Structure 1
Amino acid sequence: MSGKLKLSTWKVQLAVLQAMNAYFQELLLLEKGNKDTNALSQILTEACIALTYSLENKSYSSVRTEALSVVDLIVKRTGESEQWDCMSARSREQLQRSLSTLQTDSRPELRDKAQELRNTNHVLEHPS
């Protein structure tokens, strides 16, 4: 799925992002107690690369909105299952940069959600 995001039309990108959302909702590797952290780490790395491209898509707000929804789901599920460490520091940095870019979006709901996710991402990286 990740490979199809960059070179496709916005409608295909949107469909891929919706499929990614469904995939991450059901991904058993994101359950608490998962032992296959290498597989989850690889999946999250690939997904983050693709999602950063979609989050920074200046042409289509529907693509940015759906990508933000997928990021939100990933952040929630990795946090709930205490598997935040499965996402590499580089992937987290990429997401942080893309979310920063999204904070200048013309749509206030996207700006607010991006800020919320950046704060959550920061908290998960630096627990007190």
Structure 2
Amino acid sequence: MCENLKLNTWKVQLAILSCMKAFFQELLLLEKSNEDVNALTQILTETCAALTYPLENRSYSSVRTEALSVVDLIVKRTGESEKWECMSVKSREQLQRSLSTLQSDSRPDLRDKAQELRRHIQSQP
């Protein structure tokens, strides 16, 4: 999914982002009881890098909206499972940079959500 996210039309990007959302909703690696931090770290690293493109997509607000919902889900599930150490500093910085570009978005709901997520990521140890 990560490899195909950048190289497709906006409709395909929406479908990929929707699949990513479903994937992270059910990802057992994001359960407190799971101890495979290496696999989760690799998944989060690839996903965070791939999400920068749709988050910064200036043409389609639907793509930005869906990407933002994926980031929101990742942040929530990572926090709930107390697995912040699995998200590298580089991945956090990538997300924060992309979220800061959304803070100048024309849609207030996207601006506010991006700002909230950026602050939440910054506050994590």
**Runs of 5+ consecutive residues of structure 1 not aligned to the other structure:** none
Aligned residue in 1 for 2:101: 101
Distance in 1, Cα, partners of 2:27 & 2:48: 16
What's the Cα RMSD here?
0.6
**1:33 shift after superposition:** 2.3
**1:107 shift after superposition:** 0.3
Distance in 2, Cα, partners of 1:94 & 1:80: 21
**1:90 shift after superposition:** 0.2
**Runs of 5+ consecutive residues of structure 2 not aligned to the other structure:** none
TM-score (structure 1 length as normaliser):
0.96
Distance in 2, Cα, partners of 1:51 & 1:6: 9
**SS in structure 2 of the partner of residue 124 of structure 1:** coil
Aligned structure 1 segments of 4 or more residues deviating by more than 3 angstroms: none
**SS in structure 1 of the partner of residue 116 of structure 2:** helix
Answering whether residue 89 of structure 2 is matched by residue 89 of structure 1, we say yes
Instruction: Give the fraction of aligned pairs with identical amino acids, expressed as a percent.
Output: 76
Distance in 1, Cα, partners of 2:34 & 2:86: 11
TM-score (structure 2 length as normaliser):
0.98
**1:122 shift after superposition:** 1.2
Distance in 2, Cα, partners of 1:37 & 1:106: 38
Distance in 1, Cα, partners of 2:97 & 2:56: 10
Distance in 1, Cα, partners of 2:34 & 2:79: 13
Residue 89 of structure 1 aligns with an amino acid whose one-letter code is: V
Distance in 1, Cα, partners of 2:122 & 2:94: 13
